[in-house]
A and B are shown apart, each in its own frame.
Chain A
Amino acid sequence: MAVIRADITTTQAARDGFVAGVLALKAEFLGPTSADFGLPGPSQPVSTYDLFTIWHQLAMGRMTPTTQNDRNAAHSGPAFLPWHRLMLLLFELQMQRVLADPTIGLPYWDWATDGALPVSEQTGAALWQDSGVGGSGHPVMSGPFRAEVFRVKVESGAAGQLRTTDRGLNRSLGQDPSAPSLPTLASQATALRQTRYDASPWSRGSSSFRNRVEGWVPFGMHNRVHVWVGGDMGPATSPNDPVFYLNHANVDRIWESWMLRRGRTYVPSSSESADLAMHRLSDPLYSILIQQPLTPADMLDVSSFYSYDRLPSAG
């Protein structure tokens, strides 16, 4: 049965299901330990939730190809959208399993609508209340992911290395001078009007829908949301903050809207250069949590898994 992904700020059941799923996956340990991942220090169990964080960190460190330092297995290239769609789909299936409820869907955070608020009101929007996901803090002391109930157990170091920790979640909403406000509805509409999914050089420098929504040129959208939330949303272990999933569900929703307008198309094709391995239409997406090879082509139509209650428009 396909689930319907809903707006977390307007659908209480979606918010409650998400919180319950996150906390349940944080409390589940399938057997892997920090020693299995070569993390220094005393070995400790790794939760199912944290396996996703480790996966994201590893994808970030896998350069594609290794002779350059821009495009990695999941970012700064065409696979950005299908790779995260796969990650969120597996996370959603894990939530459904651990809650024994196949109707649970990942909610999304419609950040462009919050971006229409006056800047001074954005950090006080509904999402950041106790009834949402809590607010700022080092550590966060409000909401369902406050330090006494939600612990960060793996983190990135300054050199990009993964390591264990035991602390509360950090957030600094709207504090970074480079992203004092959220993306706007206008920037979302501009992205949706892009005619090309992606283009050479298939990187941070591409002029394309993928690059607009990822947020390199110009700086905005997905990237801007990470920086605006701040704290644990900054490093490669950004899935440490459950807001990661809300941000990416919204990014995925924007991609779905683009495909409805432009067709379920994707580039580069499978015949493109091997330098684009892991980003071509039929290349397996990098994964550590599923053995079946799944490709960008597999991610173009996910209607048997989920749909969105509402899609953004290009205005």
Chain B
Amino acid sequence: MDRSEMVAASQPEAVRTALAAGAEELGHAGHAHGGADLSSLREAEYQGRHIRVRTTYEITVDGREFAVHLTVDNNGRVHYHGLPTRDFASVIGLVQRVIDQFPDDFPVEPTPSADPGHSHHHGGGD
């Protein structure tokens, strides 16, 4: 790896050229990770038998589907690409951290106001 070549590759025109070369793929950067199959498959051999465990989670938050790919490893730990440097013992705990990390993706629905200072007139009175 030649230093002068690397310096040249870091010049603005070289960066633009590199980006242009990958333009077709880069144009899809706004798409979510993963494909349609949201299941996770675990396999193991035990005493001459072959074990397969396919896991699919159906998660909703406030009734809205949260359809992301969760991977379960053979120790039962669950991994989610949105928080890529950790795994979880509990999917409930995972979703709690997801809500913490991405609150704008899980807006709280407004509830009917109980504010006593906000008067509603339902006929009569005055």
Contact = CB atoms under 8 A, between A and B. Distances in A.
Interface stretch (B1-9, B45-53, B115-123): B1-9
Given A69-B69, A158-B66, A54 B81 contact: no
Interface string A296-307: 001100101100
A36 B27 contact: yes
Given A51-B15, A54-B29, A160-B68, A36 B23 contact: yes
A219 B5 contact: no
A234 B9 contact: no
Interface stretch (A126-134, A143-151, A276-284, A285-293): A285-293
Given A69-B71, A159-B82, A235 B101 contact: yes
Nearest to A287: B18
A70 B105 CA distance: 25
A159 B61 CA distance: 13
B81 A90 contact: no
Contact of B30 (A70, A161, A294): A161
Interface residues of A, number: 59
A83 to B, nearest CB: 14
A226 B86 CA distance: 9
Given A161-B30, A291-B18, A204 B73 contact: yes
Contact of B1 (A39, A75, A294): A294
Among B5, B9, B11, B30, chain A packs the most CB atoms within 10 A around the CB of B30
B27 A160 contact: no
Given A93-B7, A162-B30, A223-B86, A289 B15 contact: yes
A36 B85 contact: no
B10 interface: yes
B40 A37 contact: no
Contact of B12 (A30, A54, A159): A30
B10 A97 contact: yes
Contacts of B16: 30-32
A38 B27 contact: yes
A40 interface: yes
Interface in B76-120: 79, 81-87, 97-98, 101-102, 105-106
Contacts of B21: 291
A156 interface: yes
B36 to A, nearest CB: 13
Interface stretch (A15-23, A57-65, A192-200): A57-65
Contacts of B18: 287-291
A93 B10 contact: yes
20 contacts: A32-B19, A36-B19, A38-B31, A58-B29, A60-B33, A61-B81, A69-B34, A94-B10, A158-B82, A158-B106, A161-B30, A161-B33, A226-B86, A238-B85, A288-B19, A290-B10, A290-B14, A290-B15, A291-B18, A302-B1
Interface of A: 30-32, 36-40, 48, 51, 54, 57-58, 60-61, 66, 69-70, 75, 89-90, 93-94, 97, 156-163, 176, 178, 204-205, 215-216, 219, 222-223, 226-227, 234-236, 238, 287-292, 294, 298-299, 302, 304-305
